[in-house]
Structure 1
Amino acid sequence: MKNVSLTLYAFHLRQTLTDAPDRVADDAALLWDNLTNLGHFPGLTTLKSQLICYTNTEYTPQNEPGQKTYWLTHAQKDIDLGAISTADGFKITANLQPFRLNDTYAIDLTLTPDSPHLDITLPQLQHFRPQSLLPNTIQASLGQTLWLYAEVDAQTDCATLAEQCATALLANTPLNPSFQNQDSLFGSHLFHYLATQPSQPDNPAQQCHILISLNTNHSPTVELLGKGYDELLQLLCCHHKLRYIYHQSRQRYPDARHLYSQLEQQIQTLPNLTTDKQTRLDALKNLLNQIPHTALDYARCLRDLRAHHTAMETNLTNFDTKQQKLAQFGDIPQFWGKFLKESHVWKQQIQTDINYLSPGQDLFGQMLETVRGIVDLDQAERDTF
């Protein structure tokens, strides 16, 4: 394999739904901390001093300018992180491109041999230290993609080689690559693998998406990827956001269902309250104290689901737009279109959840008014005596 490059694309939320416009997420700086802690390359020790969002080593996101998409380096360009030596006599160089994409921090960390024409074998992929680029180390909240590019002979069995590469990248880890798709991008074969943590298989932050690009016919893949770089970075960001948003919605829906169940139980208790008005009044007052808190939690669940639906719509539109722009440069994988269709189904599911849960919000209000009316009546009768 020649002209080999290994790129980590990682996406981390800078700001969440509930953060004020001038605030950031509690773990917004985690991506930069984890990169610095890698320590493999000399430039990582001074990384923070080159980022706009730091004053010396103190995270100061308020230093970031007003525009929502831009370079995060003072020099407005990539960072040369230097090189590390290998036992086989060549060096691995590292280059970092840090960005802010609206509410998200994004990085492109690309590792290459110091000689592009060097023939890299499967065992030599370990010199790139891919284990340090996996989710348990990087901890990007939205997820990540590890992309290996290589030029190989025309007669190469690319499917077999791609699987071997994916396995090599995950060697000495508990992760196993699962084949997802095969297609082409800008003239090169493209293979998609997914590796998940057994304990959290559905958590996007713990998933590692692996893309293997194998160029067998000297296609201008690298040149075209450069021309469409902005669109590709945004497309990958949307891809991870869509998975993240749907995963978040799957957590909020059962929360709302649990609260709805509590309301149903409270409604069923009303007819069974004791006829002793003294005891009943105390029970109703206790219920009156509980309902507003439950109703507020329920309203927050619905608010989050509606926000997730809106975010899905936005990212679906952006993903489709970036996909169409990339198609202007050359062939793109069909599985991007399949993912877009799947994401539309996710959006419809969220809307179904909202439709199902929305009547419960009115029911909370009606329950509150009913209990309050009974309390007022019983209290008035007690005060009369």
Structure 2
Amino acid sequence: MQPPNLPPNLKDPRLTLFAFHLLHDITQKPQDGAKGADRLWKQVAGLGDILEVNLLKHLPGLLKSAERQIADPSIYQELFHPNPFLPFYSHSSSERPKLTGEVYPVQIHDTYGLDLTLHYSDISQPIACDRLSELNPKGCLLPQFIQAELGQTLLLFAQPEAIPDDPATLADRCVAALLQNTDYILVQDSTNRAKNSVGRVAGGQLFKGPIFEYQTINAESTNPSNNCHILVWFNYHPQTATKAGQAYRDLLQLLCYRAKICHQAYQSQFFVDCAREEYIKLEQKINFFDQLLIPTNKQLENLKKLINELPVLAFKLSYYRRNIEDCRTTIAANAKNFDARLADIRKLTLPPDNLDFWENFRKLECKNYLKQIDVNLQYLEGGQKLFDQAIATIRGIAELEQTERDRNIDRNIAIFGFGIGAAGVVASGSASYAGVIQEISPVNNYVSFWQLNDAQAHLVVTINFSLLAGAVASLITAGVIATFKNSKFTHSSPKLPP
């Protein structure tokens, strides 16, 4: 029996990194990889320097041809053939013992998946649980280094040398060792919201082996690519390892669907925040719209400017709303896939296995994600209607203002037209009345004062009386138009009851 003051020993501890990265999105063809789709492989290549494994350094090159040879991206694809698991060995040093591992890259629908497993080369010697940081040197398997777009899960699978009285306490100690000398800290109190706090959030039993779930619990963990998600699974029963091998592919896909659900929930909230910013801009425009109702010289120009700006905001709001709806569809689809894989794992379970923590993720967290998205969509629907109503109202006011201006222009043209016409008639008939007008005393005095001859006097009389006739005709025309307009408005207006 192990002395109580020594750290518990583990037999053949294996640390597996499951990381997931989007291959392409809905706007791209399946054969076209998304920008940065190979980032996961490049990050794993960086592990080659830390772990001193040359094979990992060349992983992007090994996979480059595989990316172009995907026959059907809609199914589960192993990227290495004929042996899908590629073994590797690290060099031992004074700081780290020799490690052995395997890398297993796959494609699951539109997602790249990675299984990178590390364990000690000498599996005959038990390892103190406090030494588990040797499997995660410099925190190289944590999210801050891997940066998988959809997130990741670290799975520690180990057999305790002696069955502990409290496996949860042993699991805590293992996680604390894995996080040693990293930016993450293990906290026992789930209310501790310090930055990069990791806490135990659930526990259960799988294939007669206790399994515990840990994840980042601080408020900054909304982005799944930064979320530290860890599973600690103890090998208690002779069938645990056998059943784990049989359920391996289902487990890998289960974690993939979980990562995609969390990522889409995060994406939907991101789009909601973007839509809220556009909604705030709309409200500012509407507040400015009240000022535009006050008649000014630039009222029409400001209305037209607002008409040009609002459709852009409305388009952005529709774009974000569509993306949120796509997130909802993706979450619902992956929740069904999660259910299917969980059902396959349940077929292999051994009494008294307990997978409630995964069942709760499906029934509670996924349901909450979908419910929150529905609430956000209802909120944005009201905003979209407000956009449409504002655009229609402003366009109507602008059209009325433009029509009124056009009418004013037509009225002025008519007034000046009648004036010019009257002046022309007077000018053309000046020969018959110019002499008579010139005999009028004021006119005669004016001609004598300026010492005008007959031709000059005739010209002056013609011009002045043409202008006078044009002005009178214009005034009469304006009065007739105004009278007709008022009469038309009076007859067309509804009469209110007394």
TM-score w.r.t. structure 2 length? 0.71
Tell me which residue corresponds to 2:221.
201
Match of 1:210 among 222, 230, 253: 230
Taking the TM superposition and a 5 Å limit, the aligned residue runs for 1:269-348 are 269-276=288-295, 278-330=297-349, 331-341=353-363, 342-348=365-371
Tell me which residue corresponds to 1:162.
171
2: CA distance between counterparts of 1:91 and 1:358? Answer: 59
Match of 2:206 among 163, 185, 192: 185
1:371 equivalent to 2:394? Answer yes
Q: What do residues 278-307 of structure 1 show as CA deviations (whole Å, max 9, x unaligned)?
A: 321011011011111100110011101100
- Using the TM superposition, name which of 348-357 and 374-383 deviates more: 374-383
**Partner SS for 1:208:** coil
1:64 equivalent to 2:70? Answer yes
Which letter maps to 2:389?
Answer: Q
Greater percentage in strand = 1
**Partner SS for 1:112:** strand
Tell me which residue corresponds to 2:372.
349
How far off is 1:36 after superposition?
0.7
How far off is 1:251 after superposition?
1.6
Tell me which residue corresponds to 1:25.
34
2: CA distance between counterparts of 1:117 and 1:228? Answer: 26
How far off is 1:359 after superposition?
3.4
Tell me which residue corresponds to 1:139.
147
Which letter maps to 2:100?
Answer: T
How far off is 1:236 after superposition?
0.4
Tell me which residue corresponds to 2:474.
none
Q: Is the 8 A contact 1:191 1:212 kept in 2?
A: yes
Match of 2:57 among 45, 58, 63: 45
Tell me which residue corresponds to 2:19.
10
**Partner SS for 2:118:** strand
Structure 1 or 2, whichever has the larger Rg, is 2
1: CA distance between counterparts of 2:325 and 2:293? Answer: 40
How far off is 1:22 after superposition?
4.5
1: CA distance between counterparts of 2:296 and 2:29? Answer: 47
**Partner SS for 2:203:** strand
Q: What do residues 210-245 of structure 1 show as CA deviations (whole Å, max 9, x unaligned)?
A: 1111223x3311211111111111110111111111
Change in 2 beyond 3 A, CA 1:4/1:21: closer
Change in 2 beyond 3 A, CA 1:38/1:155: closer
Residue identity over aligned pairs, in percent, reads 34
**Partner SS for 2:157:** strand
Which letter maps to 2:361?
Answer: F
- Using the TM superposition, name which of 296-305 and 90-99 deviates more: 90-99
Q: Is the 8 A contact 2:278 2:317 kept in 1?
A: yes
2: CA distance between counterparts of 1:48 and 1:75? Answer: 18
Change in 2 beyond 3 A, CA 1:382/1:21: farther
**Partner SS for 2:243:** helix
- Runs of 5+ consecutive residues of structure 2 not aligned to the other structure: 1-9, 187-198, 410-498
Change in 2 beyond 3 A, CA 1:21/1:365: farther
TM-score w.r.t. structure 1 length? 0.91
Change in 2 beyond 3 A, CA 1:118/1:90: farther
Q: Is the 8 A contact 2:278 2:313 kept in 1?
A: yes
Q: Is the 8 A contact 1:326 1:332 kept in 2?
A: no
- Using the TM superposition, name which of 142-151 and 125-134 deviates more: 125-134
- Using the TM superposition, name which of 234-243 and 260-269 deviates more: 260-269
1:362 equivalent to 2:385? Answer yes
How far off is 1:161 after superposition?
1.4
Change in 2 beyond 3 A, CA 1:74/1:278: farther
Taking the TM superposition and a 5 Å limit, the aligned residue runs for 1:67-106 are 67-68=73-74, 69-75=76-82, 77-87=84-94, 91-106=98-113
Q: With a CA cutoff of 8 Å and minimum separation of 6, indicate the structure with the bigger relative contact order.
A: 1
2: CA distance between counterparts of 1:24 and 1:18? Answer: 11
Q: Is the 8 A contact 2:14 2:156 kept in 1?
A: yes
Q: What do residues 12-49 of structure 1 show as CA deviations (whole Å, max 9, x unaligned)?
A: 11123444545332221110001011112231133233
Which letter maps to 1:233?
Answer: L
- Using the TM superposition, name which of 253-262 and 296-305 deviates more: 253-262
Greater percentage in helix = 2
Q: Is the 8 A contact 1:188 1:219 kept in 2?
A: no
Tell me which residue corresponds to 2:274.
255
- Runs of 5+ consecutive residues of structure 1 not aligned to the other structure: none
When the two chains are superposed, the root-mean-square deviation of aligned CA atoms in Å is 2.2
Q: What do residues 175-196 of structure 1 show as CA deviations (whole Å, max 9, x unaligned)?
A: 0131111211111111111136
Q: Is the 8 A contact 2:130 2:174 kept in 1?
A: no
Q: Is the 8 A contact 1:122 1:165 kept in 2?
A: yes
Change in 2 beyond 3 A, CA 1:20/1:297: farther
2: CA distance between counterparts of 1:167 and 1:22? Answer: 42
Change in 2 beyond 3 A, CA 1:45/1:255: closer
How far off is 1:141 after superposition?
0.9
Which letter maps to 2:222?
Answer: D
Change in 2 beyond 3 A, CA 1:302/1:89: closer
Which letter maps to 1:349?
Answer: Q
2: CA distance between counterparts of 1:186 and 1:24? Answer: 38
Tell me which residue corresponds to 2:115.
108
